[in-house]
Structure 1
Amino acid sequence: MTEDQPELLPGLVRQQVKASQARARETRARKAAAAAVASVDPVARVLVDVPLAHLDRPFDYAVPESMADAAQPGVRVKVRFAGQDVDGYLVARAASSDHTGQLASLRRVISPEPVLAPQVAALSAELAERYAGSRADVLRLAVPQRHATTEKDASWPEPGEWRHDAAAGEAAWTGHEPGAAYLRHLASGGSPRAVWAAAPATDWPLLVAHAVAATLASGRGALVCVPDGKDVARVDRALADVLGPERHVTLTAEAGPARRYRDFLAISRDARRVVVGTRGASFAPVHDLGLVVCWDDGDDLHAEPRAPYPHTRETLLLRAEREGAAALVGGFVRTVESEYLLRTGWAQELGPSREEVRRRVTVSIAGDPSIKDVHGRASRIPREVHTAVRDALAQGPVLVQTPRLGYVTSLACERCRTPARCGACQGPLALTGPTTPPACRWCGTVAEDWACPECGHRGLRAPVLGDARTAEELGRAFANTRVRTSSGDAVLATVPPGPQIVVATPGAEPVVEGGYAAVVLLDTWLLLSRIDLRAGEEALRRWAGAAALVARGGRVVAVGDPAHPALQALVRWDPAGFAARETADRVEAHLPPASRLATITGDPGAVDDAVTLLAAPAAAELLGPVDVGEGECRLVVRVPRAQGAQLSTALGELQRVRSSRKLDPVRIQVDPPTL
């Protein structure tokens, strides 16, 4: 002990006494504040932001008199929960509580801004139940993070004067029957529900904008959800043309937190009533919602990758049912889910006549037996395709869709066709450019001295070519023509009109004013070879999305097996017939949408525990479990569609039991987009 330590002890004791007295005063102040509760509705029901399934319910807190005005339903609050301060949403005020003890008080109101609308709060509860998740997870998707500066300073200019042009809307919908009647029903305040199969060469954003305008003319709001930002930009421009500027907002993740929160507040404060955005926009708190639109509902971007994995189409249809709004589910093809809506009578059909389709596009398959060109049918780009591209370049641009990104994405032995594999990790070999040696796509090892392990031959062939190699080949074939690529991180939204060849991967096709003179679909077998329940449906959707960009009277040429049902549906432009046949096959095989599926994925022991605890409906079938790699397995639970609600309830209870017992987690997906 040093000499100065005895002198320090009294000082330390005094500091400790002062700190203790300060804590005591703070405690008395809190108790006094808690005692002075609000005189009207002193109980706040708070949904705390805790992702534990067994805690997924509102908890009661006392409302201090000092917070009585600010603590209104929908605001963000801070509460004491499980020994720590957590965020939450105040969902209701009440006069009394079922809790018999003393209620803890709200810690503070984070913001007096009511960001959780009553209809969105009710929607979150229903979605959580349907997808066996928690409301806290749904609300993270529904309400953007707070941006205090934006909340304080947000203001919006008054929209200009606008008059609904009903005649222009009906003219735009000409060819899609009964489109005019659908618009008139919207304008009169009705809530028609339709599944819309758009004709090729259709400016679908313009038609959507006119449907929104008809809804707005009735004094109601509209909500439009599309797969990606490129589609948002197209609908944004169409709405600005039809409605005028400053009458709608866009909600996308790419906008940034400040812009996204500002646009969210514009909807929440009823400054704007028209929203267009990606899947997160499906929760937008539109006042007096009159129309929900889901474009291209088969796109996998509509499936939320975060728990509880809701799908945009189901979210919007649920909102339409709850809020009495009209619904429009559209696309160039029809999904089996949309077909089921028609079969059950929930929605009516909108689409073009056969004569209208014939006037707009001609689709053929290169290599058809009726075409006497044996050598052309044996090549990747047949002679018929070269002829179609050359003739179309005299009229305008040509779009070439190829399903693989890169240069040469896989290699095989030139002699025996054995796939070329890396000697270090057995990964596939590929070429990244015309002068680079083959290298492994997994570990990057260069294999300059590769030899086939089966026959010893050193020659390589390319069974699958990427968009870069395709562009190189077309550039050599049409030497005086500009060739562009659109894929990966270099996606072109638009290209200028004029003779050129645009090579794009599915979903990355740029739009050109006036449309393409011709569209070529290469390697159609590759999309059809996917081992997936939706392989044919997805292939037809991607082909139709590219083919629909053709100019009116243009030509589409697909290279593939002319006998395949998906290609036959493309040639006839018959997405309705293809969807009807797919639905019939699914019904016969007891697959969605005729049944309800759920997957349980996790460690084998955790999945076994889940099966033991699951109180599934009596008609439930357990398929699996099967190994899915990385030490996980997956079990599929299938029930008839009529028992889908019971399955969701059983899975939700399973999650709550496992959460309360702190068992190893499992991932549950109800109606997964693919298997």
Structure 2
Amino acid sequence: MARVVVDSPLPQLDRLFDYAIPDELAAAAVPGVRVKVPLRSAGRMLDAFIVEVGEEDAADRPLSPLDEVVSPVEVLPASLHTLVRRVADRAAGSASDILRLVIPKRMVRAEKAWLAREDDTDADPVPAPALEAARGVLDAFPTLREKLAAGERVAVSAPPRTVAVDAAPGEAPRTVGAWAVLLASAAIETLAAGRSAVLVVPDHRDQAQLEAALADRVDGDFLVRDDARRSGPERYAAYLRVLSPRPCIVIGNRSAVYAPAHDVGLVALWDDSDPLLAEPLSPGVHARDAALVRQELEGCALLFAGHTRSTDVERLVGIGWVTEVRAARPARPRVVLSATTADDAPGRRVPSVAYAAAREALAHGPVLVQVARPGYAPSLVCAECRRPARCAHCGGPLRANRRGAVPVCGWCGLSAADWRCPHCRSDRVRMGSSGSERTADELGRAFPNTRVIVADGAHPVDQVDERPALVVATRGAEPVAVGGYRAVLLLDADRMLQADDLRTPEHCLRWWSNAAALAAPDAPVHLVAVAGPVARALATWSQPAYARGELAERAPLLMPPVARVARLEGPLAQVDAALIALRSDVPDLPDEAVLGPVAQQDDTGVVRALVRFDYPRGRLVAESLRASVIRAALRTRSRPKAAGGASRAPGNTLRVRLDIPDPEL
């Protein structure tokens, strides 16, 4: 008998199914392989993975036989299924939804090439000089090496500077953040001990820095890149390498946290407060939470590193679940809080002191200018009443691609040559904000004969040389400069803080800190037109203390991460039924724990409710909400079709997501 997990988005199929093993498949039907199985209720074949193989029980129920063993490769190790099952249960989700993110689709040619390979068992993964250098980096943090070797959970603040690294043969030298060298050093020490390391970063820019930090220090066969930007055959070949019984270093984005590498000794997350590490697909598990579950199951070391400290990690530090390790000689950038003076013209975007610092720095090297948004003018307003200019066709915001251009709708793309304000009937617009391209245009006129580089989503730049240049970059897209920037200007800080989000100040501090860490030693970092606690935290480089203050403010309101928050969405009857069942399953849940239901503004009949609960109640809440999701799905499936045989509207059922970062209704 084989027990399988099927690949299906239906929540009622999120369990193990028993199938008989035909004699002709007995040798190939082993745990971990891909199979095809019949599903009687649906009358079709489903993809599945064998989880267990055992003797058929004595029950008088006949078992359907396996239809086919798709591949002999055991792509689902028992440890991966255990991890995925635990993570899914914690998030009230389906294991198959996570497996779909982790295990790539089968590529026959890549699989055949992998099965025909010959392993180089004599390769030395880490040369002695690289190991010695790695230990020197780790020794800058007292007790860090010992704690990682003991499999503890550790949080460190990365050094805010850049480091030049030797490139692989045939490649140009690279400059990377010191954080990349720190994580690479921890991975090298782990690999030298014969164990694997999994390094998880938010995006491809961070991944490229890690690869550069490891390029000439680790044998290439022991480095595995895992991200969705690679082709299907490349991803599948990389996954097969991870499955091999040899240690490796896995570098990837959020789903890499599940990588089933051999004998994992370290899982490290860089910048865990970056929203890119939160999985948008169901069940929406953050890589940080998956890493915590994995560390508890496997006993590997867990390292959180960043220039800032997320409130989630600081909460764990506060309760003693994670240990903070500080550098022996902590460093910090030279941050200046710049404000306009009486000598500055009204509405001046760059104060005179910051302008003077940029002009002086350009004599020695590049200057970084961080802005809030890409494009030329991300938004236009009426020149008379200052109200946002909206498209008459769809109501979308009007934008300008360049000065003097006809406004264009950012939603439908239609031009608005004959636009008139519906409030004051004016036909004139003005730019309400400045994007990266407009800022580059303005600074190019202010600093003639100076090279100007734009770095944003449409103009990706990974690195700039040491020659003088104005580098205008959106938050998160800042390239690394060889030798560091000679000055950093953080513009639009007040606009960034205006976003309506619980974690906006926390995100702003992260954006500014990451940009400030790219400055050369003693280079000025000017934060323009902002004061208050978040500005003081940047100026004093006391991000963990700021995170503690945020936790103290959220505690009376039971806001995350002080408490866990679940969001329920669906028809009113289903949401009400789920809340009634929740109060029955968790009888000591406080009355104030439930907020809503509240009807949405799109007139679809969907309502939303929030449930706030403490961490000890997490298992009971997740089990209750998951049971409600399954009941709602079964009722929706069994409901007869509408008149004329029309199908029901898709998605009209209960949806649940746990651990949402912002509880805004």
Give me the TM-score of the superposition, normalised by structure 2: 0.89
Q: Would you say 1:246 and 2:221 are equivalent positions?
A: yes
What is the Cα deviation at residue 623 of structure 1?
0.9
Q: Which residue of 1 aligns with 2:277?
A: 302
1:97 aligns with 2:57: yes
Match of 1:140 in 2: 100
Q: CA deviation at 1:343?
A: 0.9
Residue 331 (str. 1) matches residue 306 (str. 2): yes
After TM superposition, give the deviation of residue 128 of structure 1 in Å: 1.4
- Counterpart for residue 284 of structure 1: 259
Deviation at 1:454, TM superposition (A): 5.0
What is the percent sequence identity of the aligned residues?
Answer: 38
Match of 1:169 in 2: 134
The answer to whether the 8 Å contact 1:362/1:555 transfers is: yes
Paired position in structure 1 for 2:475: 506
Contact 1:516–1:549 (8 Å) recurs in 2? yes
Q: Does 1:461 align with 2:419?
A: no
Matches within 5 A, 1:451-530: 452=421, 459-530=428-499
| SS state at 1:556 partner | strand
CA distance in 1, matches of 2:250, 2:414: 49
- Shift of the alpha carbon at 1:376? 5.9
Following superposition, the deviation at residue 53 of structure 1 comes to 2.0
SS in 2 for 1:475: helix
1:665–1:516 CA distance, 2 compared to 1 (3 A): same
For residues 593-613 of structure 1, the C-alpha deviation after alignment (integer angstroms, 9 at most, x for no partner) is: 221111012344543444345
Which has the larger displacement, 525-534 or 93-102? 93-102
Distance 1:156 1:637 in 2: 54
In the TM superposition, residue 245 of structure 1 has moved relative to its aligned partner by 2.6
Change (3 A) 1:456 1:161: closer
Matched, 1:662 2:643: no
Measure the CA separation in 1 of the matches of 2:388 and 2:68. 64
Please state if 1:638 is matched with 2:594. no
From the superposition, tell whether residues 54 and 440 of structure 1 become closer, same or farther in structure 2 (CA, over 3 Å). Answer: closer
User: How far apart are residue 471 of structure 1 and its match?
Assistant: 0.4
1:152 CA displacement: 1.2
Equivalent-residue separation in structure 2 for 1:356 and 1:206 (angstroms): 16
1:187-209: CA deviation from partner (whole Å, max 9, x where unpaired): xx421221111131151111111
Which residue number in structure 2 is paired with residue 626 of structure 1? 598
Q: CA deviation at 1:521?
A: 0.7
Structure 2: 5+ residue stretches without partners = 163-177, 638-651
Give yes or no for contact 2:560–2:662 (8 Å, CA) kept in 1. Answer: no
1:138-217 counterparts in 2 under 5 A?
138-154=98-114, 155=117, 158=120, 159-160=123-124, 162-164=126-128, 165-173=130-138, 175=140, 177-178=141-142, 181-186=143-148, 189-202=149-162, 203-217=178-192
What residue number does 1:38 align with? none
| Contact 1:481/1:500 (8 A) holds in 2 | yes
**Amino acid of the structure 2 residue aligned with 1:44:** A
Q: What SS is found at the alignment partner of 1:356?
A: coil
Q: 2: distance between equivalents of 1:246 and 1:637?
A: 47
Counterpart residue type for residue 53 of structure 1: P
Please show how residues 20-419 of structure 1 align to structure 2 within 5 Å: 43-82=1-40, 83-97=43-57, 99-154=59-114, 155=117, 158=120, 159-160=123-124, 162-164=126-128, 165-173=130-138, 175=140, 177-178=141-142, 181-186=143-148, 189-202=149-162, 203-352=178-327, 356-358=330-332, 361-367=333-339, 372-375=341-344, 378-419=347-388
Higher-Rg structure is 1
Partner of 2:519: 550
> What's the offset of the Cα at 1:366?
1.3
1:499, distance to aligned residue in structure 2 (A) = 0.6
Letter paired with 1:660: L
Partner of 1:23: none
Counterpart of 2:161 in 1: which secondary structure? coil
| Partner in structure 1 of residue 640 of structure 2 | none
Within 1, Cα distance between the matches of 2:345 and 2:335? 18
Output the CA distance in 2 between the equivalents of 1:436 and 1:71: 65
Equivalent in the alignment of 1:588: 556
The answer on whether the counterparts of 1:182 and 1:192 sit within 8 Å (CA) in structure 2 is no
Query: 2-side partners of 1:50 and 1:458: how far apart?
Result: 54
Q: Is the 8 A contact 1:50 1:136 kept in 2?
A: yes
C-alpha change, 1:185 and 1:579, in structure 2 (3 Å) is closer
Where does 1:438-449 land on structure 2 (aligned, <5 Å)? 438-448=407-417
Of the candidates 542, 549, 570, which is equivalent to residue 602 of structure 1? 570
* Counterpart residue type for residue 120 of structure 1: L
Deviation at 1:244, TM superposition (A): 3.4
Q: How many Å separate the matches in 2 of 1:530 and 1:346? A: 32
Deviation readout 1:551-602 (Å, 9 max, x if unpaired): 222221111222x211111111111111010111121211112211110123
Report the alpha carbon displacement of residue 392 of structure 1 after superposing the two structures with TM.
1.0
Per the TM alignment, residue 638 of structure 1 is displaced from its structure 2 partner at its CA by: 1.2
Flag the 1:107–1:376 CA change in 2: closer, same or farther, 3 A: same
Greater mean alpha carbon deviation, residues 271-280 or residues 456-465: 456-465
Q: Is the 8 A contact 1:595 1:641 kept in 2?
A: yes
Q: Could you tell me how far 1:449 is from its partner in structure 2?
A: 5.1
TM-aligned CA deviation for residue 364 of structure 1? 0.7
Structure 1 unpaired stretches of 5+:
1-42
Q: Which 10-residue stretch deviates more, 166-175 or 51-60? A: 166-175
Do the aligned partners of residues 320 and 442 (structure 1) sit closer, same or farther apart at CA in structure 2, a change above 3 Å counting?
same
Residue 79 of structure 1, CA deviation: 1.3
SS at match of 1:340: helix
Partner residue of 1:651? 625
* Amino acid aligned to 1:626: V
The residue identity in structure 1 corresponding to 2:595 is L
Deviations 1:327-371 (A, max 9, x none): 001111110110011011111113346x7324xx20012117xxx
Q: In the aligned structure 1, how far is the partner of 2:197 from the partner of 2:608?
A: 39
Report the Cα distance in structure 1 between the residues aligned to 2:203 and 2:361, rounded to whole angstroms. Answer: 30
C-alpha contact 1:295 1:330 (8 A) present in aligned 2: yes
Partner AA of 1:47 in structure 2:
V
Task: Kindly tell me the number of residue pairs found equivalent between the two proteins.
Answer: 621
Greater Cα offset, 120-129 or 54-63: 54-63
Cα 1:636–1:515 shift into 2, 3 Å: same
The counterpart of 2:405, out of the listed 436, 461, 485, is 436
Could you say which residue in structure 1 is the equivalent of 2:172? none
Could you tell me how far apart the structure 2 residues matched to 1:542 and 1:295 are? Answer: 14
Shift of 1:373: 4.5
Shift in alpha-carbon separation, 1:237–1:65, aligned structure 2, 3 A: same
Residue deviations 1:24-70 (CA, integer Å, cap 9, x gap): xxxxxxxxxxxxxxxxxxx1111122332222211111222222221
CA shift at 1:119, angstroms? Answer: 0.8
CA 1:560–1:80: 2 relative to 1, 3 Å: same
Alignment deviations for residues 522-575 of structure 1 (CA, whole Å, 9 cap, x no partner): 11012111111101101111111111111222221111222x211111111111
1:514 CA drift (Å): 1.7
Rounded to whole Å, the distance in 1 between the matches of 2:240 and 2:514 is: 34
Structure 2 CA distance for partners of 1:106 and 1:342, relative to 1, 3 Å? same
- RMSD, aligned CA: 2.2
Q: CA deviation at 1:438?
A: 2.6
Q: Residues 95, 317 of structure 1: CA spacing in aligned structure 2 closer, same or farther, 3 A cutoff?
A: same
Cα pair distance change 1:443/1:662, threshold 3 Å = closer
Deviation of residue 489 (structure 1)? Answer: 2.8
Shift of 1:467: 0.6
In structure 2, do the counterparts of structure 1 residues 628 and 365 end up closer, same or farther at CA, with 3 Å as the change threshold? farther
How far residue 96 of structure 1 moved from its aligned partner, in angstroms, is 3.2
Distance 1:398 1:661, change over 3 A: same
